[in-house]
Amino acid sequence: MWRLEKDPYLSSTFANLSILDRAPDFDRLRRRMERATVAIPRLRQRVQSSPANIAPPMWVDDPDFDIDYHVRRIALPAPGSMRQVLDLATLILVDPFDRTRPLWQFVVIEGLEDGRAVLLEKLHHTIADGEGSVQLSLQFFDFEREAPEPEPLVYDADEATASALLNGDLLRDLLAGSLKIPLSLVKQVRELIADPASIPAHGASTVDMVRNVVGQLSDVDPAKSPLWTTRSLRRRVEVLRAPFFEVRDAARRLDGTLNTALLTVASDAAGRYHRRLGAPIDELRASMAISTRKVNPADGSHANAFSLARMLVPTGEMKPTERFAHVLRITREAADSGAAALVGATASLAASLPTAVVTRIARLQSQTVDFATSNVKGTPIPVYVAGSEIVANYPLGPLGGVAFNLTLLSHVGSLDMGLHMDAGAIAETELLRECLRESFDEFVKVTGAPRSKGSGRRAADR
């Protein structure tokens, strides 16, 4: 993901919009985040690349770390509408990180109507995935408004200096020990990709890896949408909400999960959008993030633990229960297909290829997908940030070359969703949001999920 950003279409930056009931105590937030950078050293580290990418990039301590660069505060002009927030958040989200610094920013946006404020948390995917970022949030969340501040942690500058020197020695060792092996591996992999027929002549481990990788990379069937044919760097963000308990109960009644419901609704909405614009389509290709933490439990780290599954989803007119059953079948097949192992093999291949080749392969693969979905577990109880309650929590996933990304985060009886769109691909952005709202309403209504206790607190967002 670090190297792919040489192509701006493949940016892996993501963000979260936490809507606060009032402006937070900024000094308190700053102290909490400075403490977090001591508790989680990754927040004080930057990425150091090796010359010519002959060894993997590595994390090194940033000797010039400045908390005020990463925790900022701005204000909206009147009237402070949600639309202004979303437009400003879009600009901040797409603004590339300074690659000489740690890859995160928190921006407090004040001046929102009704006295509310927003905390925009922006991270690079190399730091953490969605679930990892939720774990990181425990460093600055409180469970009561006036919670006492935790004891400060002291940053050990001498230890950081020693770590930096160690990283420098390690980098030299990596370079010295890898000059021969990666170059020969590059040559071998290039030959195999150029002539897959020669695979049987190579060793068993190389055969397995390259067969799997070549099999995935050879799938270059273009995305299916007749409308979303353009890709651009123009972005548009919308947000919406749906009732957690009703959607969860409906999915359970149909022997599925929230993941299945999310992809079912997104598929239905995409079909509605195409029919409204006179271009009906029976299927589109979607990607879905699948957590691998249950397979490889996180050992206290907040790193990435997910794979991406691509599948053709039904978008023609059909009953929600029928569409759900179809999506449930294909998602189970995807989860059982060994996608996680394939991601690892692909990463091994990517590490041995020039950046230009890696980005070209990734761009070709992204062009096979119409839209992406992701589901992140949130909190079922109220949480606070520096004295302010989070009343809504909208995640904004990276596009990575697709037409839109719909990411869901559960929050206190609500399903809060961020709809991140390529405005060059999706001409009618508000229409897509409306189609999603209609699809959620119909899914809950038709599947007949019984109302759960407390479910009425959050109706689908209008």
Q: Which domains does the chain have, with CATH numbers?
A: 235-375+401-457 (3.30.559.30)
Both tokens of residue 49?
Answer: 């690349």
Burial group, residue 139, by CB count within 10 angstroms (0-12, 13-18, 19+): middle
Residue 213 Cα distances to 126, 134, 188, 330, angstroms: 22, 31, 14, 21
Both tokens of residue 189?
Answer: 């992999």
**What pLDDT is stored for residue 359 in this prediction?**
75
Dihedral of alpha carbons 370, 325, 410, 449, sign: positive
**What pLDDT is stored for residue 317 in this prediction?**
96
Q: Which of 453, 462, 380 is nearest to 414 (CA)?
A: 380
284-335 tens-digit pLDDT: 999 987 655 554 434 444 455 456 788 999 999 999 999 999 999 998 887 7
> What's the Rg (C-alpha) of the chain?
23
Q: Which pTM does this prediction carry?
A: 0.82
Residue 131 Cα distances to 12, 377, 452, angstroms: 15, 7, 26
Task: Please tell me the distance from the alpha carbon of residue 365 to that of residue 353, in angstroms, as a whole number.
Answer: 16
**What pLDDT is stored for residue 180 in this prediction?**
39
11-43 tens-digit pLDDT: 889 999 999 999 999 999 999 999 999 999 999
312-330: burial string, b at 16+ Cβ within 10 Å, e else: bbbbeebebbebbbbbbeb
449 touches 250 (CB < 8 A): yes
Low-confidence ranges of the chain (pLDDT < 70): 52-54, 129-132, 157-220, 290-307, 336-353, 448-462
